[in-house]
């Protein structure tokens, strides 16, 4: 197996090597999860306090008189030692209270329920595209190893890892929106009329428009998501095709393939049924990790497309000294990342014949 | 080989299908009875008129609440009644009596009375949020406000100030957002722990203006709907959708495509490129915001008067007006913006490297020096700062630019930890005192001062000017008062560590069929009330 | 010549030197037969030369210094014979800025690859070698950094430390080391139990001697491959930070920041954002090709499978 190039790969490898040795893997995993989680909180909290922006100014603005400043400073608990502040915050988190966002005047938990689905939707679609395109071309590259399709796939993959996504997005907008008119404006998830009228159930607009049975709105949502999702998927296509190729090559060398060939099984069946059938097992792990990477890696795409996702929520909060928002957002992303790693690992164990 | 080709074709077909499916929805004009606006409104943090102090928030509440009085956006000296039909000032100049207009209804259906007006002003003082000083400077406090501001009967409101101020000063302050009239019954219905409905009103609406606030999603969308019962007649647009679009180039794109009707944040070069487009027209209005360079006197180099003067001669005023600010600003070198009572329009400074070099040599820096400049990370500010970086270098001054986010700049500025600061100041109301108060008055230059005006932030403490500023606010004769401000500005222009550079002009790009949109001199006077689509 | 070749490729080399030279020769040949790796090699060499001779190549330096009417006339000029890539709002020559900017890119990459991998390497080998609570503590810290969204962490750090090139470099280094720590730990775990190490231990070698003399050299080749492959990622992260305004500050010609500047003008003056973007793309591609080729040479069990 190729050295995994997502950082998640290491986490997964680590998890599997670590807790398979233990008698009570679940308990061990949970304790590890909690420790990592608290560490994550501490790191975020410290960075938050290091920010050279005065959180009081974020609340009361620049022109407020001094007495109001003092009052707000105390109200926000900023006069207490940082350890005490952290303990208070941790206490809140344990009760499901992430505080109120300065920027949006909403509870952070509410905000996350609003913003996270947008990121989830984008990353999910990008992953689906990635699997639908990346796996077949990876198989193709393996079958035509060292012939020009193989080189083409490798070349295409390396390009995917080389272009700055925000730049690609800008160029994409100019080409597909301004000149060709194929996609909708980079204004968010929906045209403004639908944005206001659509009943929000899951907060994922593709699903909500379908639930509402409003096909015009669905088309509108699709026209908005297609370009950012395609761009984001380029990364996953490039990565998945590369990994598929590598797994397939491993399989095609196996004895059962040779045996099958001798038995006269058709080449198509060997490739698609037997080899890919086995290559799926490690591939699932890789797909889950790609998904995790996309979930947290969509920040720049969200910014260029005005996408109201969690990445932008955290970034905007960061720049506005909205620490509750940043902390809350980071917790969710970190947690999702850890959980996806766990899931990929469990899937691996379930599907891997050797593990059964 | 052939198989591969087929696969490629199938792939291309699939991609084509995806795009074909999406392309139908891509071209969509805005509806006839709704206005779609693209704007950067990520500064809104509240909708409570007692707390709103941001440009965007002020514009939203300006369109959705009524105030006692208003002014003509074309000529701010014309003050007229809005929720008040008329008013009188007592002979001692301290008591203002307002007669309320009849038949104004809040969105809840409640009738507006003098009691609502009194409650709104009292509430602003008691809550004491950031903009509260606009009212409390007349001597109101949580303890006395119930006596100073009261509803005599359902139609009559009296306001009594502690001193006899220039009457226009008082009146202009009553046109500010903080003086908006909220629905007392509705607000108090949502009171929690004696907060006068503050927690609720931050994200809700209780007003009587031409539009109602339907929805606010921070940094995403604001939806306004027409108030059919508005006393001045129902507006033509059923809905106004204001969408947050952070990127000005995207705003331009959407405007050109007709996906939005108004683009509010076009940058200089974008204005140039949409100028020739027959589907788009530009609406311009001089705002009160001034862009200035300030020098912190705590820095030993900048404390030298010759250095201050030299820097004033090292700004390329004309060049900036023609390039970075083309169509978006005009040179103004005094602390009052043009259009204000007593604004000084003389422009003694221009780029003069030789003169500046002479002054620097006199100050003991013939070869210049190195200095840091903090500036907010916004295109026009950065571009202006870059121009100063270039011109300062001609006299040997090496400027290190430190762009920061808005609040970060303010954190440093407020702590007096900068050397050079380039930024903007927007007047809080239409009276000259708002700027004189911050630029020319500093009662206590100590580090723990009670009040920290802009003069304090640059450690500038002019005694005489402070006295003159305090005197000017009590002068009731407008002509005399204007002369007083002219004198203060002249002295300020020469002595103060401030180089005023540009007065902003707001420009909105409108689709050709949009009419009746009004840009006022301040953000709370930008109005959607009369917008129609042809 | 043929003699040398047959000596290098001898099936039974006479000496250690001959064997390792032979291996190097094979690797060298494999590297040069890979067209993509060669393209990468050429691009990276060109970048190095460009950075070294930047002041001689760039005709106009990073700023034009123009003011007033001259500025008005020369700003936003489209690409021409005089200005190959056009000019920006301060009438600066974009080609010159991109050439000068190659130094910034190299500085960022250079500092990051000589800090993050080394830090990660030390933490990883120490963690893997000692095991026990040292391992638990170090790996928990690594986990925290891994679970943190990478770009957000870099963004937060760069913002917290104040905008500037130094902060950006620090932020990228801090977000990159955990991956190397994992890699080094995994490799160390496989080596730790080998007979060869046990023998060294019996000879009385101390912990640090074992780690630095025996374990680290063995992990080195996979680390080098990994670092080369990561260089493109470092360039892209740096560009992303610059794009968000958190990297080098004006008038420093950092490529990501140049794209951000051009973003406002993308519809009117396409060249402002297009050329810096292409520059990042070409350089990142060069490093990716090179890394890919190196992987084939140094780590033949994966990747190319020649």
Q: Which CATH number fits domain B287-504: 3.10.310.70, 3.40.50.10420, 1.10.1370.40, 3.10.105.10?
A: 3.10.105.10
Confidence of residue C270 (pLDDT cuts 50, 70, 90): confident
Taking one residue from A and the other from C, the number of pairs with CB-CB distance under 8 angstroms is 166
Q: Is the pLDDT of residue B67 over 60?
A: yes
pLDDT tens digit sequence for C236-249: 989 988 888 888 87
Residue in C closest to B390 by C-alpha: C65
Q: Do B203 and A182 touch (CB under 8 A)?
A: no
B65-208 has CATH 3.40.50.620 classification = no
Task: Tell me, yes or no, if C73 comes closer than 8 A to chain B by beta carbon.
Answer: no
pLDDT < 70 regions, chain A: 1-26, 345, 348-356
Q: Cβ A297–C239 below 8 Å, yes or no?
A: no
Q: CATH topology of B30-41+211-279+512-534 equal to that of B287-504?
A: no
> Which of C35, C147, C179 is closest, CB to CB, to A40?
C147
Q: Which of C88, C264, C272 to mutate to test the interface with B (most CBs of B within 10 A)?
A: C264
pLDDT at position B385 over 90: yes
3-state secondary structure chain C: CHHHHHHHCCCCCCCHHHHHHHHHHHHHHHHHHCHHHHHHHHHHHHHHHHHHCHHHHCCCCCCCCCCHHHHHHHCCCCCCCCCCCCECCCCCEHHHHHHHHHHHHHHHHHHHHCCHHHHHHHHHHHHHHHCHHHHHHHHHHHHHHHHCCHHHHHHHHHHHHCCCHHHHHHHHHHHHHHHHHHHHHHHHHHHHCCHHHHHHHHCCCCHHHHHHHHHHHHHHHHHHHHHHHHHHHHHHHHHHHHHCCCCCCCCCCCHHHHHHHHHCCCCCCCHHHHHHHHHHHHHHHHHHHHHHHHHHHHCCCCCCCC
Å between A11 CA and nearest CA of chain B: 35
The minimal CB distance from A181 to the residues B23, B54, B452 is found for B23
User: Which of B2, B407, B423 to mutate: most A Cβ within 10 Å?
Assistant: B407
Where residue B420 falls among pLDDT bands split at 50, 70, 90?
A: very high
State the pLDDT at residue C299: 59
pLDDT of residue C1: 60
List C-alpha distances in Å: B353 to B393, B442, C64, C66, C70. 10, 32, 17, 13, 16
Burial class of A342 by CB neighbour count within 10 A (0 to 12, 13 to 18, 19+): middle
Predicted confidence band at B379 (pLDDT cuts at 50, 70, 90)?
confident
**Minimal Cα–Cα distance from A292 to chain B, Å?**
25
Which chains form contacts with chain A, at 3 or more CB pairs under 8 Å? B, C
Confidence of residue B310 (pLDDT cuts 50, 70, 90): very high
Q: Which residues contact A160 (CB under 8 A, 6 or more apart)?
A: A234, A235, A237, A238, A239
pLDDT at B279: 93
* Contact flag C139-A7 (C-beta cutoff 8 Å): no
- Ordered by start, the domain boundaries in chain A are 27-94, 111-310
Determine the residue of chain C that is closest to B320 in CA distance.
Answer: C68
Cα(A69)–Cα(A62) distance, integer angstroms:
10
C29: CB partners within 8 A, 6+ apart: none
Residues A244 and A150 sit within 8 Å (Cβ to Cβ) = no
A339 touches chain C (CB under 8 A): no
Indicate the residue of B247, B319, B403 with minimum beta-carbon distance to C263: B247
pLDDT at B17: 47
Q: Is C245 within 8 Å of B324 when comparing Cβ atoms?
A: no
DSSP A210-231: HHHT-HHHHHHHHHHHHHHHHH
Q: What is the pLDDT of residue A132?
A: 93
**Fold of the CATH domain A111-310:** MetI-like fold (1.10.3720)
Which chain A residues are Cβ-neighbours of C222 within 8 angstroms? 3
Give the model confidence (pLDDT) of B429-465 as tens digits.
999 999 999 999 999 999 888 888 999 999 999 999 9
pLDDT digits (tens, 9 = 90+) for C140-183: 888 888 877 778 888 888 888 877 888 889 989 988 898 888 88
CB pairs under 8 A between B and C: 80
Residue C71: list chain B partners with CB under 8 A.
319, 323, 387
- The pLDDT of residue A351: 66
Tell if the CB–CB gap between A57 and B414 is shorter than 8 Å: yes
Torsion angle (degrees, nearest 10) of CA C117, C119, C122, C126: -120
- Global confidence as pTM: 0.82
Is the CB of B390 less than 8 angstroms away from the CB of C267? no
Q: C136 or A22, which is more confident?
A: C136
User: Where along chain B do its domains lie?
Assistant: 30-41+211-279+512-534, 65-208, 287-504
Q: Which ipTM value was assigned to this complex?
A: 0.82
Three-state secondary-structure class, residue B533? strand
Across the interface, whether the CB atoms of C250 and B267 are under 8 A apart is answered no
CATH superfamily of B30-41+211-279+512-534: Periplasmic binding protein-like II (3.40.190.10)
* Torsion angle defined by CA atoms of residues B69, B73, B77 and B82, in that order, rounded to the nearest 10 degrees: -10
> Which among B119, B295, A205, A37 is positioned nearest to C144, based on CA atoms?
A37
Rounded distance between C-alpha atoms, residue C232 and residue A186, angstroms: 28
- CA dist A313 and C212 (Å) reads 45
């Amino acid at each position: 197996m190729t050295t995994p190039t997502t950082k998640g790969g290491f986490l997964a490898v680590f998890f599997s090597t670590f807790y398979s040795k233990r008698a009570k893997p679940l308990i061990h995993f949970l304790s590890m999860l909690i420790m990592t989680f608290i560490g994550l909180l501490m790191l975020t909290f410290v960075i938050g306090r290091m920010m050279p922006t005065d959180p009081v100014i974020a609340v009361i603005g620049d022109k407020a008189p001094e007495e109001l400043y003092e009052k707000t400073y105390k109200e926000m608990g900023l006069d207490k030692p940082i350890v005490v502040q952290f303990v208070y915050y941790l206490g809140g988190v344990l009760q499901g209270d992430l505080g109120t966002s300065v920027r949006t005047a909403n509870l952070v938990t509410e905000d996350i329920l609003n913003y996270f689905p947008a990121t989830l939707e984008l990353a999910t679609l990008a992953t689906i595209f990635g699997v639908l395109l990346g796996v077949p071309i990876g198989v193709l590259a393996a079958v035509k190893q060292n012939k020009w399709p193989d080189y083409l796939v490798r070349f295409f993959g390396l390009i995917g890892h080389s272009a700055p996504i925000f730049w690609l997005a800008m160029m994409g907008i100019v080409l597909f929106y301004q000149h060709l008119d194929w996609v909708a404006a980079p204004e968010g998830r929906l045209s403004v009329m639908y944005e206001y009228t659509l009943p929000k159930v899951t907060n994922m607009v593709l699903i909500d428009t379908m639930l509402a049975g409003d096909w015009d709105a669905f088309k509108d949502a699709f026209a908005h998501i297609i370009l950012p999702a395609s761009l984001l998927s380029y990364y996953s296509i490039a990565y998945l095709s590369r990994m598929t190729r590598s797994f397939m090559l491993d399989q095609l060398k196996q004895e059962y393939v040779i045996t099958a060939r001798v038995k006269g099984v058709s080449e198509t069946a060997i490739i698609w049924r037997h080899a890919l059938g086995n290559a799926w097992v490690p591939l699932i792990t890789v797909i889950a990790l790609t998904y995790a990477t996309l979930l947290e890696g969509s920040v720049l795409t969200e910014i260029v497309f005005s996408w109201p996702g969690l990445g932008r929520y955290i970034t905007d909060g960061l720049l506005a000294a909205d620490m509750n928002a940043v902390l809350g957002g980071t917790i969710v992303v970190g947690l999702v990342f850890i959980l996806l790693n766990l899931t990929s690992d469990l899937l691996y164990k379930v599907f891997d014949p050797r593990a059964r | 080989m052939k198989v591969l080709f087929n696969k490629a074709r199938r792939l291309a077909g699939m991609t084509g299908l995806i795009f074909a499916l999406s392309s139908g929805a891509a071209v969509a004009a805005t509806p006839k009875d709704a206005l779609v606006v693209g704007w950067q409104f990520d500064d809104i943090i509240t909708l409570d008129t007692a707390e709103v102090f941001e440009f965007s928030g002020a514009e939203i509440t300006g369109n959705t609440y009524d105030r006692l009085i208003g002014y003509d956006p074309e000529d701010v000296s014309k003050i007229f009644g809005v929720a008040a039909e008329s008013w009188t000032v007592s002979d001692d100049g301290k008591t203002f009596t307002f007669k309320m207009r009849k038949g104004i209804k809040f969105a809840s259906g409640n009738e507006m009375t003098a009691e609502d007006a009194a409650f709104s002003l009292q509430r602003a003082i008691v809550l004491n949020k950031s903009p509260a000083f606009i009212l409390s400077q007349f001597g109101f406090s949580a303890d006395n406000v119930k006596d100073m501001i009261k509803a005599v009967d359902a139609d009559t409101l009296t306001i009594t100030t502690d001193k006899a101020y220039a009457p226009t000063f008082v009146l202009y302050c009553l046109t500010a957002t903080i003086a908006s009239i909220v629905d007392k019954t509705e607000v108090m219905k949502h009171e929690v722990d004696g907060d006068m409905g503050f927690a609720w009103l931050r994200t809700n609406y209780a007003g009587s203006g031409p539009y109602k606030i339907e929805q606010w999603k921070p940094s995403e969308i604001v939806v306004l709907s027409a108030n059919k019962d508005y006393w001045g007649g129902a507006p033509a647009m059923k809905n106004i959708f204001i969408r947050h679009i952070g990127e000005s180039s995207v705003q331009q794109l959407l405007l050109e495509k007709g996906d939005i009707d108004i683009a509010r944040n076009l940058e200089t070069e974008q204005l140039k490129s949409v100028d020739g487009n027959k589907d788009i027209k530009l609406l311009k209005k001089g705002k009160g915001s001034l862009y200035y360079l300030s020098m912190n006197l705590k820095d030993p180099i900048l404390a030298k008067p010759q250095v201050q003067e030299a820097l004033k001669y090292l700004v390329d005023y004309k060049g900036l007006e023609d390039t970075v600010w083309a169509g978006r600003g005009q040179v103004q070198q005094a602390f009052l913006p043009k259009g204000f009572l007593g604004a000084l329009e003389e422009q003694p400074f221009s780029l003069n490297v030789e003169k500046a070099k002479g002054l620097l040599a006199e100050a003991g820096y013939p070869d210049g020096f190195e200095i840091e400049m903090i500036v907010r990370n916004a295109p026009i500010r950065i571009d202006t700062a870059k121009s100063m970086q270039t011109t300062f270098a001609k006299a040997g001054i090496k400027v290190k630019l430190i762009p920061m986010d808005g609040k970060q700049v303010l954190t440093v500025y407020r702590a007096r930890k900068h050397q050079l600061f380039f930024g903007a100041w927007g007047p809080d109301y239409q009276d000259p005192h708002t700027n004189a108060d911050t630029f020319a008055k500093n009662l206590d230059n100590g580090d723990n001062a009670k009040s920290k005006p802009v003069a304090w932030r640059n450690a500038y403490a002019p005694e005489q000017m402070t006295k003159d500023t305090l005197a000017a606010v009590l002068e009731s004769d407008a002509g005399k008062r204007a002369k007083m401000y002219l004198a203060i500005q002249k002295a300020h222009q020469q002595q103060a560590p401030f180089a005023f550079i540009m007065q902003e002009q707001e420009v909105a790009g409108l689709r050709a069929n949009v009419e009746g949109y009004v840009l006022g001199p301040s953000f709370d006077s930008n109005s959607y009330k009369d917008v129609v689509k042809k | 010549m043929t003699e040398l070749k047959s000596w290098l490729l001898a099936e039974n080399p006479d000496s250690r030197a001959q064997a390792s030279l032979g291996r190097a020769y094979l690797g060298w040949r494999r590297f040069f037969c890979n067209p993509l790796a060669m393209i990468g090699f050429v691009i990276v060499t060109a970048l190095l030369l460009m950075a070294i001779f930047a002041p001689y190549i760039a005709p106009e330096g990073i700023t034009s210094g123009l003011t007033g009417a001259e500025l008005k006339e020369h700003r936003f000029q489209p690409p021409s014979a005089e200005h190959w890539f056009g000019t920006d709002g301060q009438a600066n020559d974009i080609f010159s800025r991109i050439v000068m900017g190659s130094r910034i890119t190299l500085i960022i990459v250079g500092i990051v690859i000589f800090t993050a991998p080394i830090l990660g390497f030390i933490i990883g080998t120490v963690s893997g070698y000692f095991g026990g609570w040292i391992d638990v503590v170090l790996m928990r810290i690594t986990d925290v950094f891994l679970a943190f969204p990478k770009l957000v962490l870099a963004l937060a750090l760069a913002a917290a430390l104040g905008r500037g090139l130094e902060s950006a470099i620090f932020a990228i280094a801090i977000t990159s080391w955990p991956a190397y720590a994992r890699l080094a730990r995994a490799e160390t775990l496989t080596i730790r139990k080998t007979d060869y190490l046990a023998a060294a231990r019996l000879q009385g070698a101390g912990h640090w001697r074992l780690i630095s003399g025996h374990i680290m050299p063995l992990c080195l080749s996979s680390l080098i491959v990994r670092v080369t492959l990561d260089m493109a990622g470092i360039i892209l992260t740096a560009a992303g930070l610059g794009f968000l305004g958190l990297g080098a500050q004006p008038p420093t010609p950092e490529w990501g920041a140049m794209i951000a500047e051009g973003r406002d003008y993308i519809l009117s003056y396409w060249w402002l954002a297009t050329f810096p973007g292409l520059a990042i793309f070409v350089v990142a591609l060069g490093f990716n090709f090179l890394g890919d080729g190196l992987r084939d040479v140094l780590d033949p069990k994966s990747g190319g499978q020649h």
